[in-house]
Amino acid sequence: MSYKDIMVTTRDFVSTITLNRPPANAINLGIREELNEAIIELEQGKDTRVVIITGTGNMAFSVGMDVTDIANIRKGPNGNEVFSRIDRLTKPVIASINGHALGGGCELALVCHFRFMTDNQRATIGCPELNLGITPGWGGIQRLPRLLGRSKALDMILFSKRLLPQEALAIGLVDRVFPRAELMKETMAFALALTKRPPLAVSAVLNGMAVGLEKGIEEGICVDREWADKIAKSNDAKEGFTAFLEKREPVFRGE
């Protein structure tokens, strides 16, 4: 499928989604529609084992909702719908935060499984919506405390704090910080390492963890058991045990 407001490329089982509305990569109806379609397609595609989400240019990953597109806010898929689809994806998603990640941009980063950020001291991350008299509407109120704890999340949201890269790293909002020139290289290296992991087992872990966090530990354990029974009969499991006995690296195919 061809896209206008995002770009999608796939190489070596890694698919990169680039928000393509420079300089700020603000999220409009087009990005919501195209991002939603891309995630559905990549979820089903066997050529994708890991997804990277980033933004065009060096200024912004995304500054969130495009206020000039407010007339279309109730059209197409809602931001919550799109972001929840990413949150529940059974393939690892890495946010490569190349610049500002503010408002909906921060909320987009929050639904990714991993967050890597540039060390550019002009780049900030946060949910400053209260400065406008509104609240984070695409999941930030729920996901930020799950990541940081309630008091840190409240401090960030209520005071509209924008954290610099090292500040975000210190409180666990991002997982790693890299020099701007090395950010995508390091993100890709991490993604490629993930592609070597057994795809079915990776999906099982992501699915079980997502269900457990959303619906509670008992529901999560039920999902884990279902996956365990399925994976035990898979070719990947046979390959894993065979490779172990033969003292070689396994080659997993997601079968």
Q: Enumerate the active-site residues.
A: 107, 129
Widest CA span in the chain: 62
Place of tokens 């840190």: 152
Q: Which tokens go with 244? A: 């172990």
Distant-in-sequence, close-in-space partners of 46: CB < 8 Å, separation ≥ 6: 254
Q: Which tokens go with 245? A: 């006995």
Q: Tell me how far apart the alpha carbons of residues 233 and 244 are, in angstroms, rounded to a whole number.
A: 17
- Closest-CA residue to 144 (of 110, 113, 116): 110
Residues in the chain: 255
Q: Which tokens go with 8? A: 């999608």
